[in-house]
Chains A and B, each alone.
Chain A
Amino acid sequence: MNIMANESLIMLAILLPLIASVLIVLVDKKPNVREFVSLTASLALLATVLSLLPAVLAGEQPSVMLLEIAPGLPVKFTLEPLGMLFACVAALLWPINTLYSIGYMRGNKEQQQTRFYVCFAVALSSTMGIALAGNLLTLFICYEILTLSTYPLVTHKGNEEARKAGRVYLGILLGTSIGFFLLAILWTWHLTGTLDFKAGGILNGKVAGPELIILLFLYMYGIGKAALMPMHRWLPAAMVAPTPVSALLHAVAVVKAGVFSVVKIVVYVFGLDMLKISSGADWVLWIAGFTILIASIIALQQDNLKRRLAYSTISQLSYVVLAVFILAPLSTVAAALHIAAHAFGKITLFFAAGSIYTAAHKTNISQLNGIGYRMPWTMTAFTIGAISMIGLPPTAGFLSKWYMLMGAFQEQQVFAIMVIIASTLLNAAYFIPIIYAAWFKKEEQGSDTVELVEHGESPKPMVFALMMTASLTLLLFFFPEVPLQLANSLIGEYP
């Protein structure tokens, strides 16, 4: 495939969801056509992204410059391995999520469905933009659009609770990005005169000592989407959104955009070598480890299923940060793999949570006794997802944890090893009781207080969607070649 075609494919990947959002507005009044547009667009996007794959695997890095805002400040998209991996994950999960959304939104008779699908498409477009961003400025623009386009999704219910959650969501994400991230970008521009992502890091040799620590601090906390404590509160707040939003956006697109940006900035802006020599980055490792453990402990105490999953996400995100800040090539591979592995596992878990809510109207873990027999498909998928979170074979989660541990051993990062082991135990502690309750505990018989609800599985599209993601979690374990190859070529320049 020639370069020209790749360039137009890159543009297509960003434009397709946007075009879809316009079409969705136009067919507002016809729900079936509207859903058809969403599905078609998502499948077309998947085809587009997949057709870019061979070029990346062949080592090409096609690039498109859209326009130049000011001299030296272009809006530019470049395809590189890590971005490709992220784009693939998001594009692969969008059609499945659309299918699920249709079942969920109709099953729960949600209001404002057109707005929901429009915002979803815009959010996907900006996610593609983040994945394919060719410089920090483009990344920042798409990052902000993603925040803004997901705000109507988070506040979808439109009640007082949603309004408050929306404030926390927007306040933290916009606050950190404008207060810290933008400043870090401007500082980088002042120091280097470029914002391009370059192998080896553009800041290499330009900054040292306390300045480096401050700049790193601005980047790490500026990217609020990575949910490093104490900037994590927006994620549990966002759980008031309908479950498909929590599933695709707050387990995959938005949070992964955060850790993706972290990995990208560490690898291409600072450079692994510089951070390793300067030892100005140790504190991030500590914060990430701390976040993993504290978030897991908080997750243990949550009875609301979605909130428990949210805190689990916070802890899993910090795995990626931890992995990349081990600063070993192998752990960087692990970071990239974990972006994919966690995405498949966590979306399955959220799908299951939404499925339980739709079929049984249950939101709390204490209500789930014996539910496995009423909803066998849902709970099987949930079990697979949970196993992947804990990091046991034969699931994707094992793979990334394996690489992470190997990297940590290589660098003799005792702290990281301890954190990974401790958190694995914690993960098991907060997931296994759910699985146990669902399969082995007896359903509470209808008493005076608890009314027994007769229910079966949720609507078919939802069951189908969650089985798909559960199988993807398994498949990634058995066929990890493509993501591994992408992750390896990310560190290809650092033998």
Chain B
Amino acid sequence: MIENHLSLLIVVLPLLAAPIVAVLPNGRMPWSISTLVSWAVFAMACIQLINVSTGSVISYELGGWAPPWGIEYRIDAANALVALIVSGIAAVTLPYALKSVEQEIPKHQHSLFYAAFMLCFTGLLGITLTGDIFNLFVFLEISSLSSYALISLGKQRQALTASYQYLIMGTIGATFFIIGVGLLYAMTGTLNMMDLSQRLPELYEHRTIHTAFAFIMVGFALKLALFPLHLWLPNAYTYAPTVVTVFLAATATKVAVYVMLRVIFSVFGFTFIEDTPTDELFMILCVVGILMMSFYAIYQQDAKRLLAYSSVAQIGYMMLGIGIGSALGITATLVHLFNHALMKGALFMAIGAIVYQIGSSRIEHMQGLGKHMPWTFAAIVIGGLSLIGVPGTAGFISKWYLVLAAIEKQHWLIVIVILAGSLLAVIYVWKLVEVLYFKPADESGQTVSNQLTSRKEAPLMLLIPTWILVVANVYFGFNTELTVGTAEQAVKLLLPSMN
């Protein structure tokens, strides 16, 4: 009985939890309920992934209305994997949230914070699992609106501007998307993705379809912060509360990338894309984005902002896979989607632990902290190595497939850019590591043992979730059955012609 409704339960459970959490008194109750819900959803996402990992597709009819009239939830390997990332990150972020939220957010807002978190969680899962493009828009709005609220809760006043900036950009993105959907509906009379994909090929030549496609692409490029539409992201990640940054950095952009993947390969079909300049455009934007954003990251003075710019660069890697458009390219995109969630999750959590201890994310305030916070420091080192793509970490696997995809298509420039991006990552990661590792020096270059000796390691409630992600980074660097295996299954469904 329950198994049959699993796909819906994953979305509905956090949705129901949100109002319950909102009315609970401020205390530990909202936190514990949210955490339990996230764990339950994670468990269900695991079961769901096992169900589809053989290559089968689950089609769930909402309310028993048959598609294309009713809303269909359509789960294959691709979105089951993304749902697993979203729920998995939520399941480790929420335990982390307890201490971090207590420190960063005023007590009277706690239950509202967790309610907004649950709504955001619902939205992201809904976007991932739905097979209906209008339903997707609804969940997009749920997740966006709640994330505006979450970001605005940041301690510094700039959080409000950051949130407002995101609100404007996000709304433009969502509007563009719904314009595109409207045009598609006008042409085809359907909103079901499967149905669309069957009706679209005969309309490929139509100008309206091209316009619809352009609107949808630009809309989601805004949401996933594709260079040069990324301007909202660095501020939002820098000023949002730590927990929100961790969760959004690891999930929100990933879900948007997934939607791109779905729209391009399932709804329109890559043959359509190849006739438009989209794939070339993506590749150019990604190449410029990777290089420029990595350079930006090097010059940041704030650790969270540094990682934010790195995120924009990393999104470039994911979109490169889509631009390449081969089986290997999509595999790389999906694998990197998963791995990047792990590394950025781990890194933002570790930086969050430092912020928790010293109250600042400015890099110059972190001098010599490595000695006092060895576990946090080690987490940053391993997370950073994964970001660089050093072998033995998850990041290496992503880079392996991405470079291989580029070599296969003989895109040598892209190969160079990917590797150059890694080298730039060495610089910005090591900028952090060096500051943490070396003792602060005064002007004459002499090392001084300063007042920092009172600094202590972060509490276990912060360290354990961080280290779960760190260990996952190493584990998925050696065992790729889940990541690459599932991605390859997904590719078979996304690119039927490849079989």
Stretch at the interface among A89-97, A136-144, A330-338, A391-399: A136-144
Asked whether B480 lies within 8 Å of A69 as measured between CB atoms, the reply is: yes
Nearest Cβ on chain B to A161's Cβ, whole angstroms: 8
B385 within 8 A of A: yes
Nearest Cβ on chain B to A417's Cβ, whole angstroms: 38
Residue from A69, A144, A160 having most chain B Cβ neighbours under 10 A:
A69
Nearest Cβ on chain B to A51's Cβ, whole angstroms: 28
**Complexed CA–CA distance, A189 and B426 (Å):** 25
Q: Contacts A148-B390, A171-B426, A178-B426 given: A183-B415 contact, CB under 8 Å?
A: yes
**Complexed CA–CA distance, A103 and B181 (Å):** 75
Asked whether A163 lies within 8 Å of B419 as measured between CB atoms, the reply is: no
Q: Which of B346-405 contact A (CB under 8 A)?
A: 385, 388-392, 397, 399-400, 403-404
Asked whether A141 lies within 8 Å of B419 as measured between CB atoms, the reply is: no
A50 within 8 A of B: no
B441 within 8 A of A: yes
Asked whether B397 lies within 8 Å of A69 as measured between CB atoms, the reply is: yes
How big is chain A's contact interface, by range? 20 to 34
Asked whether A170 lies within 8 Å of B430 as measured between CB atoms, the reply is: yes
Partner of A67 from the list B420, B438, B479, B484 (CB cut-off 8 Å) is B479
Asked whether B423 lies within 8 Å of A175 as measured between CB atoms, the reply is: yes
How many B residues, CB 8 Å from partner? Answer: 33
**Complexed CA–CA distance, A6 and B441 (Å):** 51
What secondary structure prevails in chain B residues at the interface with A?
helix
Asked whether B389 lies within 8 Å of A178 as measured between CB atoms, the reply is: yes
Complex interface bits, A154-165 against B, C-beta within 8 A gives 1, otherwise 0: 010011100100
Complex interface bits, B438-461 against A, C-beta within 8 A gives 1, otherwise 0: 110100011100000000000000
User: Which residues of A lie under 8 Å from residue B480 when comparing CB positions?
Assistant: 69-70
Q: Who on chain A is nearest to B389 by CB?
A: A178
User: Which residues of A lie under 8 Å from residue B479 when comparing CB positions?
Assistant: 67, 69
**Complexed CA–CA distance, A195 and B439 (Å):** 42
Asked whether B408 lies within 8 Å of A160 as measured between CB atoms, the reply is: no
Q: Which of A199-253 contact B (CB under 8 A)?
A: none
User: Which residues of B lie under 8 Å from residue A178 when comparing CB positions?
Assistant: 388-390, 419, 422-423, 426
A145 within 8 A of B: yes
The number of inter-chain residue pairs (CB within 8 angstroms) is 73
Q: Who on chain A is nearest to B483 by CB?
A: A70
B434 within 8 A of A: yes
Q: Which of A142-200 contact B (CB under 8 A)?
A: 144-145, 148, 152, 155, 158-160, 163, 166-167, 170-171, 174-175, 178-179, 182-183, 186-187, 189-190
Asked whether B403 lies within 8 Å of A183 as measured between CB atoms, the reply is: yes
Partner of A186 from the list B407, B426, B438 (CB cut-off 8 Å) is B407
Partner of A179 from the list B391, B419, B446 (CB cut-off 8 Å) is B419
Nearest Cβ on chain B to A99's Cβ, whole angstroms: 29
A75 within 8 A of B: yes
Nearest Cβ on chain A to B374's Cβ, whole angstroms: 10
Q: Which of B476-498 contact A (CB under 8 A)?
A: 477-480, 484
**Complexed CA–CA distance, A141 and B447 (Å):** 34
User: Which residues of A lie under 8 Å from residue B445 when comparing CB positions?
Assistant: 159-160
Partner of B404 from the list A75, A140, A166, A190 (CB cut-off 8 Å) is A190
Complex interface bits, A54-86 against B, C-beta within 8 A gives 1, otherwise 0: 000000000000010110000100000000000
Asked whether B438 lies within 8 Å of A158 as measured between CB atoms, the reply is: yes
Asked whether A182 lies within 8 Å of B419 as measured between CB atoms, the reply is: yes
Complex interface bits, B469-480 against A, C-beta within 8 A gives 1, otherwise 0: 000000001111
Asked whether A141 lies within 8 Å of B392 as measured between CB atoms, the reply is: yes
Enumerate chain A interface residues (CB-CB to B < 8 A). Answer: 67, 69-70, 75, 137, 140-141, 144-145, 148, 152, 155, 158-160, 163, 166-167, 170-171, 174-175, 178-179, 182-183, 186-187, 189-190
What are the nearest 4 A-B pairs in CB distance? A141-B391, A160-B445, A190-B407, A70-B480
> Would you list 8 pairs from A and B whose C-beta atoms are within 8 A, ordered by A residue?
A69-B397, A144-B392, A159-B446, A178-B423, A182-B403, A183-B403, A186-B400, A186-B403
Known: A170-B426, A175-B426. 11 other contacts (CB 8 A): A67-B478, A67-B479, A137-B391, A155-B438, A159-B447, A179-B419, A179-B420, A183-B419, A186-B407, A190-B404, A190-B407
